[in-house]
């Protein structure tokens, strides 16, 4: 559902207005523009300003919460749009050593050559893993780079350019011998959880998303767009864009940060999973043509919901261009050496024809 220019401009103003007055209030987690959610179902005939709350109160409990200051009073309309109040507590989707669940081992957790989107990656200092998003080029130098989240490649406020990036990530067994890139820059200072790392040249990085194929370009997220992502933790999952133009307040390590240009993605089917810890950095692709529309960075398990950052905003902020070539890897890379695993990979011939191949080593 493409919003006309006038409606989109009104929506942006309404979200900005709501964010300026409500986002820093207790219990508010995000404000975006999208479809109303009623009884867990999207109401695709009603556009609303959506004020997301960590806990939704009703009846006498709402009155008590208002008196105690546990939640603010939310107006019924903002900027001429009705207000919806979805429940959702959102956290960055990095898998860290302190997670009480054991990390799931799968081919995406293994050493990969060539590198591609959808596999395990981390910085050198934290026992964690996130997802290698994909291949981009530095607009100034033309150098190939890895695109993922700030909290995957930098991970904390002490990170500096030159910090080593491991593939697989440290929690998947990565060591200094698995260094594939070095942190170059990030966009956290302008409220975008995104970063790029320059390749060391030890391994190739190709334009391919595990089990989804190559990225064909950049698209704009639209309400109702059917999307898919390939992530280290949950593999390929499918969703539907339900909110755009979002501004979220997310807890990072020891403080809240504001993240702009948030795209909200709901499961396409009831009880389906869209993302989990370890998927941070994944590309969300328009299923119609494999254009990248968002960079996954956070989500909620109850209710199931994914948050991404508008991909065009990410590329502009980091001054990079998305790789769209359908390249044939070098001889070593073409062998697809996935250590100790079988892997169903998308292989592209010189003609660009897509075939399926199961590689075993």
Q: Which residue has the higher pLDDT, 103 or 347?
A: 103
- Residue 350, pLDDT above cutoff 90: no
Predicted confidence at residue 276, as pLDDT, reads 93
159-172: burial string, b at 16+ Cβ within 10 Å, e else? beeebbbbbbbbbb
Residue 176 pLDDT exceeds 50:
yes
Domain range summary for the chain, segments of one domain joined by +: 5-88, 90-329
Which of 249, 248, 213, 332 shows the shortest CA–CA distance to 32? 248
Query: Is the pLDDT confidence value at 88 over 60?
Result: yes
Q: What is the pLDDT of residues 236-267, one digit of tens each?
A: 999 999 999 999 999 998 899 999 999 999 99
Q: How confident is the model at residue 101 (pLDDT cuts 50, 70, 90)?
A: low
Residues ≥6 apart with Cβ < 8 Å to 58: none
| Better-scored residue on pLDDT, 210 or 45 | 210
* pLDDT tier at 347, thresholds 50, 70, 90: very low
Q: What is the pTM of this model?
A: 0.88
Is the pLDDT reported for residue 329 higher than 70?
no
What top-level class would CATH report for the domain 90-329?
mainly beta
DSSP string, 308-361: EEEHHHHHHHHTEEE----PPPPHHHHT---TT-EEEEEEE-TT--EEEEEEE-
Span 134-152, average pLDDT = 97
Closest CA to 228 of 322, 153, 150, 306: 306
What was the pLDDT predicted at 317?
Answer: 98
């Amino acid at each position: 559902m493409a919003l006309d220019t006038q409606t989109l401009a009104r929506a942006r103003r309404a979200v900005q207005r709501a964010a300026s007055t409500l986002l820093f209030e207790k219990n508010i987690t995000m404000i975006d523009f999208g479809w109303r959610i009623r009884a867990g179902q999207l109401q695709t005939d009603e556009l609303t300003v959506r004020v997301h709350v960590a806990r939704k109160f009703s009846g006498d409990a709402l009155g008590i919460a208002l008196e105690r200051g546990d939640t603010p009073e939310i107006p019924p309309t903002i900027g001429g749009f009705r207000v919806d109040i979805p429940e959702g507590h959102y956290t960055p989707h990095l898998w860290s050593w302190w997670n009480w669940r054991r990390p799931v081992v799968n081919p995406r957790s293994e050493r990969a050559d060539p590198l591609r989107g959808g596999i395990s990656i981390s910085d050198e200092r934290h026992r964690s893993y996130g997802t290698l998003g994909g291949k981009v080029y530095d607009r100034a130098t033309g150098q190939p780079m890895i695109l993922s989240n700030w909290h995957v490649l930098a991970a904390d406020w002490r990170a500096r350019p030159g910090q080593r990036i491991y593939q697989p990530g440290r929690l998947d067994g990565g060591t200094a011998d698995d260094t594939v890139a070095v942190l170059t820059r990030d966009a956290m200072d302008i409220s975008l959880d995104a970063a790029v790392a320059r390749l060391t040249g030890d391994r190739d990085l190709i334009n391919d998303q595990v089990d989804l194929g190559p990225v064909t370009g950049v698209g704009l997220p639209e309400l109702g767009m059917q999307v898919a992502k390939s992530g280290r933790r949950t593999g390929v999952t499918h969703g539907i864009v339900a909110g755009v133009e979002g501004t979220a307040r997310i807890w990072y390590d020891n403080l809240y940060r504001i993240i702009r240009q948030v795209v909200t993605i709901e499961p396409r089917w009831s009880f389906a999973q869209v993302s989990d810890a370890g998927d941070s950095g994944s590309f969300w692709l328009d299923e119609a043509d494999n254009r990248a529309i968002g960079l996954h960075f956070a989500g909620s398990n109850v209710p199931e919901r994914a948050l991404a950052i508008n991909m065009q905003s990410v590329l502009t902020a980091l001054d990079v261009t998305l790789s769209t070539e359908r390249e044939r890897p070098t001889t070593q890379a073409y062998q697809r050496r996935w250590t100790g695993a079988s892997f169903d990979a998308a292989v592209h011939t010189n003609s660009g024809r897509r075939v399926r191949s199961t590689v075993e080593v």
